[in-house]
Chain A
Amino acid sequence: MSAVIDAAGLGKRYGRKWALTECTLEIPSGHVVGLVGPNGAGKSTLLNLAVGLLSPTAGTINVLGEEPASSPEQLGRVGFVAQDTPTFSALSVADHLRLGAHLNPTWDHTVAEARIDQLGLDPNQKAGKLSGGQQAQLALTLAVAKRPQLLILDEPVASLDPLARREFLQILMETVAEDAVSVVLSSHLVADLERVCDYLIVLVASRVQLAGPVEELLAQHHRLIGERRDPATLPSNQEVIESSHTERQSTILIRTTDPILDPAWTVEEVGLEDLVLAYMGQAASLARQARPTLGLLT
Chain B
Amino acid sequence: MIWLTWRQFRSQAAVVFGVLAAIAVVLAVTGPHLVHLYDACKVTHSCNQGSFTHTDNRLQIGLQTLLVVAPALIGIFWGAPLIAREFETGTFRLGWTQSVTRRRWLAVKLGVVGLVSVAVAGLLSLMVTWWSSPIDTANADRFGNAMFGLRDITPMGYAAFAFALGVTTGVLMRRTLPAMASTLVVFVAARLAESVWVRPYLMPPLRHAMAVTGANGIGFSLTPTGLQVIANPPNIPNGWAISSDIVNNAGQAPSAAFFKSACPSIANGIPGPGGGAASLRVKAPGGQPPQAFQDCVAKVAAKYHEVVTYQPASRFWAFQGIETAIFVVLALLLAGLCFWWVRHRLA
A residues neighboring B (CB under 8 Å): 51-55, 69, 71-73, 75-76, 78-80, 82, 84, 86-91, 95, 98-100, 102-106, 139, 142-143, 146
Contact = CB atoms under 8 A, between A and B. Distances in A.
Contacts of A84: 90
B54 interface: no
14 contacts: A52-B96, A52-B347, A69-B101, A71-B101, A72-B99, A80-B93, A82-B97, A86-B94, A102-B4, A103-B95, A103-B99, A104-B99, A139-B94, A142-B94
Contacts of A69: 96-97, 101-102
Contacts of A80: 93, 97
A127 B39 CA distance: 59
Contacts of A88: 8, 89, 91, 94
Given A72-B101, A143-B97, 11 more contacts: A53-B97, A53-B347, A75-B101, A80-B93, A82-B90, A82-B94, A91-B7, A100-B98, A102-B3, A106-B99, A146-B98
A103 B101 CA distance: 10
A151 B315 CA distance: 62
CB-CB nearest 9 A-B residue pairs: A76-B99, A103-B98, A86-B90, A82-B93, A55-B347, A80-B97, A102-B3, A104-B99, A99-B4
Contacts of A98: 3, 7
A25 to B, nearest CB: 21
A105 B4 contact: no
A58 to B, nearest CB: 14
Interface residues of B, number: 21
Nearest to B347: A55
A99 B3 contact: yes
A86 B93 contact: yes
A244 B18 CA distance: 75
Contacts of B1: 102-103
Nearest to B2: A102
Contacts of B95: 103
Given A103-B98, A103-B100, A86 B89 contact: yes
B99 A53 contact: no
Most B CB contacts (10 A, CB to CB) among A76, A82, A103 go to A103
Interface string B237-279: 0000000000000000000000000000000000000000000
Interface in B86-116: 89-91, 93-102, 104
A95 B7 contact: yes
Contacts of A106: 99
Nearest to B98: A103
